[in-house]
Amino acid sequence: MNAMTAFHQCFQQLGDWFFPSFCVQCQSIIRTKHSLCEHCLADLPLLDITTHANLLYRPDVVELFPDCQFDYLFACAWYRPPFDGWLTQLKFSNQIHYKNALSLIISQQLTVSKKNSEIWPDLFIILPLHQQRFLKRGFNQVSQCWLPCLVNENIDSQSLQRTKKTQAQSSLSKAKRVKNLHGAFICNTDMSGKTVAIIDDVMTTGATLNAATVALKKAGAKQVWAFVTCLTPLGH
């Protein structure tokens, strides 16, 4: 260990001592930036993706989401406690410790998924917010959680554009969500032969992911995979 590394570790230990982190679940003091202690992480009700790496092959998921246009579905958990609370706090209050906890979970699940998948996407696209919504909120909570987990992947932040300012989906029925998002995305890049992953935080009916899938397949994508943090069972 060289002197610079030793100094950095010492400085970090002092920071942990004077400004300790707390687990977002049990509130115990932890020596990690991930905001979750190892015990709470192990107890979280995550989806089992070792049996069904592609959740579209899982019967209960197919029953909830029968109209998926995409070819593959990945998710970390159901949109239930504690994940629903963490996502809400992050989305509307930008509380960074929830971002850290979610990023840890996403990274863990992605590692499992990649090991259990014979192929992997050529590129990853985080679904863009409309420019007006992004300027109003000031950040994209999906990017905050997912980008730290995709450092070794090919990220495309330019090809898919959200051209239609849509009404907030949370207040709409399933049919109105589909209508609301018709033509909301365009892809300005030739995606011929590529497997493209699109990323969102919560999948409720799949309408947003379907709209993005249509745009990418029009641009020639061979397959579109949907990656989300949580699935909500309210899609039926």
- Condensed to tens digits (0 to 9), the pLDDT of residues 141-188 reads 899 999 999 999 999 999 999 886 554 545 545 555 555 566 789 999
Second-level CATH architecture of 47-231 = 3-Layer(aba) Sandwich (3.40)
User: Judging by DSSP bridges, how do beta strands 29-30 and 123-126 pair with one another?
Assistant: unpaired
Six token digits for residue 11: 């400085």
Residue 145 has, within 13 A of its CA and on its CB side, a CA count of 35
| Entry pTM | 0.84
Chain segment 25-70, per-residue pLDDT in tens: 999 988 777 899 999 999 999 999 999 999 999 999 999 999 999 9
The better pLDDT of the pair 175, 189 is held by: 189
pLDDT reading at 193 higher than 70: yes
Q: What is the distance between the alpha carbons of residues 221 and 196, in angstroms, rounded to a whole number?
A: 7
Contact 134/165 with Cβ under 8 angstroms?
no
C-alpha distances in angstroms, 184 versus 107, 136, 155, 166, 176? 29, 19, 21, 7, 13
Contact 177/215 with Cβ under 8 angstroms?
no
Q: What is the distance between the alpha carbons of residues 116 and 189, in angstroms, rounded to a whole number?
A: 29
What's the pLDDT score for residue 179?
54
Chain segment 86-101, per-residue pLDDT in tens: 999 888 877 888 999 9
For residues 44-81, one letter each, b for 16 or more C-beta atoms within 10 angstroms of the residue's C-beta and e for the rest, the string is bebbebeeebbbbebeebeebbeebbbbbbbbbbebee
Mean pLDDT of the chain: 84
User: Where along the chain do its domains lie?
Assistant: 1-43, 47-231
Give residue 99's identity as a one-letter amino acid code. Answer: K
Nearest partner of 75 among 177, 196, 202, judged by Cα: 202
